[in-house]
Amino acid sequence: MRLPSGPTLDLRQRLHNLPKVDLHRHLEGSLRLETLAEIAREHGIDLPGYDIERLRPYVQITNDPPDFQRFLEKFQLLRRFYTTREAVQRVAYEAVADAALDNVRYLELRFNPAALAHAQGFSFEEVTDWVIQAVDHAQVDYQITARLICTIVRHENLESARQIVELALSRQKRGIVGLDLAGDETIYPAAPLVSLFRHAAQGGLGITIHAGEAGGPENVREAIELLGAQRIGHGISCVEDSNVLMLVRDRKVALEICPTSNLQTGAVETFGYHPLRDLYLAGVRVTVNTDDPSISDTTLTDEYLVAVMGMNLTVADLMAFNRNAIRASFLSPAERAKLEEQLMAEFGRSTDV
């Protein structure tokens, strides 16, 4: 996102200074373009060009028309960069570092072990342990708290999905706190994965499901009632069905809303038509997140700027969104209480925008 100037720049700096929580950020969509170019040159990855500006249109939304499939296509090229242990650890470390540099205090970073493993035939266990190690180092270096969520993609086979569930369950004491379902919800149903997600929940993992972005409100209902979702990735189509909206509100299911991503996928036409504010006023537990910072060329500060300037929200509202995020996080109750006390105290010293 291009930096604003004048009074807007002052507002952006104030929003940058706010402490933040990001519950919905994909590792695979958080790679620095500079890092991509370096890895490509070092390992001879065949690309249209190694200059960052020539590379940008292939891995980032630039002048692309809004389109869900086009957005997903950006991940196909990005999968080619997980060439070595060092590359996987570097992108994981930098994803956490970049969040911390944006004043994110708590981050839940999700990743798909299959995506990281397939490029070079690594095992799921190897790449997962590399990510855990890198995230641990970044937490220490940047004074940020980060936890991990393992992602299953809808089009992958059931055996891979089962392996990812067992992998996540086995590493809960090492920072994996949740299980996610992503991918094309317009083509691939979630029903075949119900037993796996119930098994994961019984084992103590938090459950978050991508639904209701490209698909309709029925996908949100399915995620909650069949897969036991505590959080929904995006979920904005629930405004189209009052019964689903009430289901989300009454069960206190948090929506992980990512405004810029929603615009780029075509889920909303403009920020002015985004349902974030309406969902908030309806009593839904909404949160604001980045989704894929590199693909969308955004930061959480940019998302806050969109909320304030494009949706007429205030710092008090952002404070409420962060409280929602803390309470919907997959931390332990004691960790949530401590984080809420710390962040709300700091937020309380901020003046309204």
- Is position 125 annotated as part of the catalytic site? no
Tokens of residue 25, six digits: 């950020």
**Residues paired with 254 in a beta bridge:** 231, 285
Residue 335 neighbours by CB under 8 Å, 6+ apart: none
The C-alpha atoms of residue 195 and residue 160 are separated, in whole angstroms, by 14
Please give the sequence-ordered ranges of beta strands (E in DSSP) within 160-300, or none if there are none: 176-182, 206-211, 231-234, 254-257, 285-288
Residue 346's identity, in one-letter code, is: E
CA distance 308 to 327: 22
Question: How many CA atoms does the CB half-sphere of 146 hold within 13 Å?
Answer: 33
Angle between helices 194-202 and 158-170 (to 10 degrees): 10
Measured CA to CA, the distance from residue 220 to residue 212 in angstroms comes to 5
Please compute, for residue 3, the number of CA atoms within 13 A of its CA located in the half-sphere on the CB side. 8
Say if CB 91 and CB 135 are below 8 A apart.
no
| Assigned token pair, 218 | 């029925």
User: Exposed, middle or buried, 194 (CB in 10 Å: 0-12/13-18/19+)?
Assistant: middle
131 token code pair: 């990510």
User: What is the DSSP code (8-state) at residue 27?
Assistant: G
Residue 173 DSSP label = G
The CA-atom distances, in angstroms, between 295 and each of 105, 138, 180, 263, 326 are 22, 22, 19, 13, 25
Among the listed residues 94, 185, 213, 340, the single catalytic one is 213
Helices 242-250 and 217-225: crossing angle, nearest 10°?
30
Provide the annotated active-site residues: 213
